[in-house]
Amino acid sequence: MDIIDALQTLSEEIKNTAKQISSLKDAEEFRVRFLARKGIIAELFEAMKELDASEKPQVGKRLNELRETARKLYMEARERFEKGPAITSVPIDRTLPGRTLPVGHQHIITRTIDEITAIFISMGFSIACGPEIETDWYNFEALNFPPDHPARDMQDTFFIGNDLMLRTHTTPVQIRAMENGKPPIRIVMPGRVFRNEVISARSHIQFHQVDGLYVDEHVTFADLKGTLVAFAKRYYGTALRYRFRPSFFPFTEPSAEMDITCYLCGGKGCRVCKNTGWLEILGCGMVDPNVFRAVNYDPDRYTGYAFGIGIERTAMLRYGIDDIRILFENDLRINRQFIWP
Amino acid sequence: MNISLPWLNDYIDLSESPQEIASILTSIGLEVEEIENTRAAFEGIVVARVLSCKPHPNSNRLHVCTVDGGAGPETVVCGAPNVREGQMVVFARVGSTVPRTGMRVERKEIRGVLSNGMICSSYELGIDEDHSGILVLEENAPLGSPAHEVLSRHDVRFVIGITPNRGDALSHIGVARDLSAVLRRPLRYPVPRFCIEGFGEALPIHIEDAMLCSRYSAARIRGVKIRPSPAWLRNAVENVGLRSINNIVDTTNFVMFEIGQPMHAFDLHKLEGPRILVRAAGEGERFTTLDGVERTLPQGAVLICDGEKPVALGGIMGGMNSEISNDTTEVLLESASFNPTITRRTSRRLLLASESSFRFERGTDPSRTVWALQRAIDIITDTAGGEVCGISDIITMPVCQRTVALDPQNCERILGYHVEPESIREILEFLEFHLDIVNGVFHCTVPPFRNDIEREIDLIEEIARISGYDNIPVPERMTLHAAPPYNDEAFRSACRRAAITCGFDEILSPTLIERKYAHASPVEGVIEVLNPVNTERPCLRPSLMPSMMETVSRNLRCGIRTLRIFEIGTIFIDTAPSEKRSFDSIRQKTAIAFALTGYAEERSWYSRERPFDFFDLKGLLTTFFTHLHLENKIRFNYDGQKSSSELALSLEIDGNSLGELKELSQYVRKLYDIDQPVYYAEFDLDLIERYQETSLKFVPVSRYPMVRRDLSFIVPENVETGDIIEMVKSLGIKILRDIALLDVFRHEDFGVGNKSIAITLSMQSDTSTLTDHEINMVVMTVVERIEKTFSASLRSTESTRLPGKG
Ligand SMILES: [Zn+2]
């Protein structure tokens, strides 16, 4: 007999037998008949060894298929009769809670840094980082803070040695980036900074900033405005109103601060915006030529802009947190409130 | 700094509302932080009519009046002799505050009659010194309206945050000058009446070092009478937030707030000589300032001395010993220019700042000292009488005029838009620059009060500032550059994501920690801050453990019993002794730390409560490293004895130590007041970063079936599963794809000191279905080697053949 025909007959037999299974006992009989070690299929595998080498692959393939079909039919039948009665005999309480996995939470500050840097990355910026202990050169001198200038008073400094301090801003990373690269430089610089002050609800001895820097030929104040307006619209919403007003930073000239309409009162004036209707969101300006000279860039050839965003302030406003100390106390009842889908 | 709006009006005509002025000031960099006005002080004070006025039944002097302030009649007891029926008066309701005295108006019984408020005198309202009777208003004064409107008491003042570069703006004339440039409105300087010509020297003045003081001008006035200031002068100084003292001191303050030149008045009779010597303080020299505090001066501080002793701390504060008193009849007025740097250093060292030091630090206008004297002399002779009997003016360093060139094209190069040269000219001229225009380039002579203007860029800022930043266009399009990759931060982000995915909560804790915690870890080279304001936490963390444990402890006390936390942060270790500390001797490393405490499984309908143990942390770390695709590069090792009871492992990557994971000791837990087991791990993230997987490649999978064999062995207790697995892997059997531990257990049947270890071998070939023979060969080899190497004996074997695709 042609073995292929025999296999066809067997296939039909398997299907027909399967249809008639009506109990667990029938299912077991089915298994013994077709699938057991001494069952029909196993016997056929054994018999296959006698065949011509040319027939073996085709027959082997067909047998494997048959075995899979039979196994599937058997499993289905068993499941039907094994589980079937259980459903009717013990009612299942479907209100039992499911089995869950623990959920981890990101800290508000690192999340805010991620959101802000992501916007600048989408505008072609890269990320750079620098050390938290800095030298006077990087933290002050190269950034055009002359010794004994009142501008240094704006930043109460933790000294840790002769000429060494905890950085008071992330701006020194600008100097390091310019020393290590060449224009065009387009980076944002997130990091932790320190001020030697009394800790209160409004100020802490440590906080975080994201600094930004773009240096190239033909970079103008208009480009600065364009970039920061684009950022603010992405972060705060396109409907926002903004203003740039002159300010002072030793490392930029002209310098500015950017305000947006207070989104808590819509500009009418409230406690948070000190009745001005405006919220300061960042400081910025055109890189001072003295900074370029400090890193041996030609200020007649290159121009650039820089900006700095305070992360704690941004996050506190956004989430309505009124005490900065909360951010570093790590009360998990608070940290765990923040989940970003 | 406080700037009074009515005072500004003395120098420039401002018709704009206070809000409009404030927004202009803010837009040119003189940020108005607050608008304060005396309206608040006038709250509840209204125009009222005296409806009736009868003598007080129990007093000859007092009257009982009925007044109507627009809210119905009220009974008021009034002591003024001039009160009459039908008058329009100023009525302070119950609950309001008397502007002059700051006293609250209360409802009170006066000799048996209940008085509901107060009719005010012009003295009480702070208008003048007249307290002879109540203020009577015009007949047509609008009944019920707020009194400050009728009285024109719009004494609005702006609290302005002046940036440290703008010493020139620390006066009313300075602020008015900026306004004049924006509004293109003329600035009016007052013209002093007093003429300095024809006077002899006030007294001998000697300046020891020109660095201390570049100019010292002085006037001697005799026959003055010290009195309270007249109302206008008192109002002026009070409007900028100063306390009115007397006519002389108020005058010096007035001139300082008018032009920005600090002045000081000495009682001339208290000066030995009389003569003046300006010298540097010697080491340890002591001096008692006006505030009554005796201070040890830093070496080099500027001292103003008379013939024998110091009498003032130059540029900062006068001395007790030469102060103006009520008996003073002859004064010496000082108007000088002190060194900004020395003033700042002294002020910082002594923690003593004054209106005067604030201005000197930022630089004053040395060309204005005599003008300031003239103004002060005018006011003093008006208010205190007396006559000038000598003028001195010593200049040690002449004012040098700076010229800075501005090419209008550079304005456009920086700002990104075209500013008309005519507009540039106007702005600079209103700011009192003198201009020479040669070939389109502006050669600007900088006025002496603008010590912040040294370069072309500084002029460009002036143009941008006065034109308004709003005029700078916002481009619609932006150019992009291809940005280079940023691996460090991206890797830290990946680690953060991996840890969060493993169920850990991220914390961020203080970099500065307490000394007892910093030195609790065995790490050497803890760095301390030299000048912490908060002395409790002076140490830079040498490890993340202290802050992690503080977090654990705090949360356990808040009733949270299970914590899975991690932190990524910088740690600091100095490799040199502190006297040799340098930037290069300090290691600043990024670390990642994990802590577990509490329960892996809470009690629930499907499981029993199970506390965390060491292997929860080990497993979570394995998962963490798997997320980073580093699971095959990381090795967990231990030092010392096998199977010891100490729960600690070190981690290595490529032979480099990364850190360790462990159960914290009782000692450490006690330090942080934690009374449940804590599992802790900390690693060097910078080191891990160097091994990050950056090139992923596709590897084809086998089409043939995978065969599994489970083997269980009885082995002596000291055999460790890791050793068995390592050994089998080291056999290098090609078709042995994986070997994994199934279980470990003990039973009395195995004999004391033995245990059962079950492993599963997974075998597969890339080229064919494995034959029984091939499979058995592998199993035999493995069994034989395990039995031999570990004194093991095979207990059982089971096999499964999984379907392949072939
Ligand atoms: Zn608001």
What DSSP element (H or E) covers A19? helix A3-19
Mark yes or no for CB contact B488/A127 under 8 Å.
yes
Instruction: Lowest mean pLDDT of A88-102, B487-501, B636-650, B718-732, name the range.
Output: B636-650
Sheet holding B656-663, edge to edge: B505-506, B563-574, B586-597, B678-684, B656-663, B648-653, B634-637
What is the C-alpha separation between A142 and A153, in angstroms, rounded? Answer: 17
Task: Find the A259 Cα to ligand 1 centroid distance in Å.
Answer: 12
* Residue range B157-204, pLDDT digits in tens: 899 999 988 999 999 999 999 999 999 999 999 999 999 888 999 899
Compare all CA atoms of chain A with the CA of B510 and give the residue at the minimum distance. Answer: A328
* Residue range B445-462, pLDDT digits in tens: 999 999 999 999 999 999
- Partner residue opposite A222 with nearest CB, options B31, B458, B472: B472
Kindly tell me if the per-residue pLDDT of A151 is higher than 80. Answer: no
Whole-number Cα distances in Å, B450 to A148, B190, B256, B344, B372: 19, 20, 17, 19, 17
CB contacts of B482 in chain A (<8 Å) are 124
Output the pLDDT for position B152: 57
* Residue range B139-154, pLDDT digits in tens: 888 888 888 777 655 5
Mean pLDDT of chain B: 90
Output the pLDDT for position B694: 77
Closest Cα of chain B to A101: distance in Å? 8
Compare all CA atoms of chain A with the CA of B578 and give the residue at the minimum distance. Answer: A161
**B513 near B536, Cβ under 8 Å?**
no
- Global pTM value: 0.81
What is the C-alpha separation between B239 and B5, in angstroms, rounded? Answer: 9
Output the pLDDT for position B804: 47
What is the C-alpha separation between A248 and B169, in angstroms, rounded? Answer: 13
Band the pLDDT of B466: cuts 50, 70, 90: very high
Mark yes or no for CB contact B165/A244 under 8 Å.
no
Kindly tell me if the per-residue pLDDT of A1 is higher than 60. Answer: no
The answer to whether ipTM exceeds 0.85 is no
CA dihedral B83→B88→B94→B97, nearest 10 degrees, is -90
Beta bridge partners of B679: B596, B663
- Partner residue opposite A288 with nearest CB, options B348, B457, B481: B457
Mark yes or no for CB contact B485/A126 under 8 Å.
yes
Output the CA angle B224-B225-B231, nearest 5 degrees: 115
Residue in the structure block whose two tokens are 């997974």: B762
CB contacts of B474 in chain A (<8 Å) are 222, 225-226, 229
Count the neighbouring beta carbons within 10 Å of the beta carbon of residue B479.
12
Average confidence (pLDDT) over B759-788: 92
Instruction: Give the side-chain half-sphere CA count within 13 A for B386.
Output: 27
Output the pLDDT for position B806: 37
From B465, B463, B473, B470, select the one nearest B406 (Cα to Cα): B463
What is the C-alpha separation between B126 and B118, in angstroms, rounded? Answer: 15
What DSSP element (H or E) covers B8? helix B5-8
At residue B626, φ and ψ (nearest 5 deg) are -70, -40
Beta strands in B641-782 (DSSP E): 648-653, 656-663, 678-684, 707-716, 736-745, 754-763
What DSSP element (H or E) covers A117? helix A108-122
Closest Cα of chain B to A102: distance in Å? 5
What is the C-alpha separation between B294 and A35, in angstroms, rounded? Answer: 106
Output the pLDDT for position B645: 62
Instruction: Lowest mean pLDDT of A193-202, B11-20, B644-653, name the range.
Output: B644-653
- Partner residue opposite B474 with nearest CB, options A104, A158, A225: A225
Output the pLDDT for position A336: 93
Q: What is the DSSP string of B335-369?
A: EEEE-HHHHHHHHHHHT---HHHHHHHH---GGGH
CATH superfamily name and code, A108-338? Bira Bifunctional Protein; Domain 2 (3.30.930.10)
Output the pLDDT for position B556: 95
From A255, A278, A263, A272, select the one nearest A143 (Cα to Cα): A255
Output the pLDDT for position B805: 42
Q: What ranges do the domains of chain A cover?
A: 3-89, 108-338
Closest Cα of chain B to A225: distance in Å? 6
**B217 near B336, Cβ under 8 Å?**
yes
Band the pLDDT of B781: cuts 50, 70, 90: very high
DSSP class of residue B427 equals H
What DSSP element (H or E) covers B234? helix B231-239
- Partner residue opposite B417 with nearest CB, options A96, A160, A222: A222
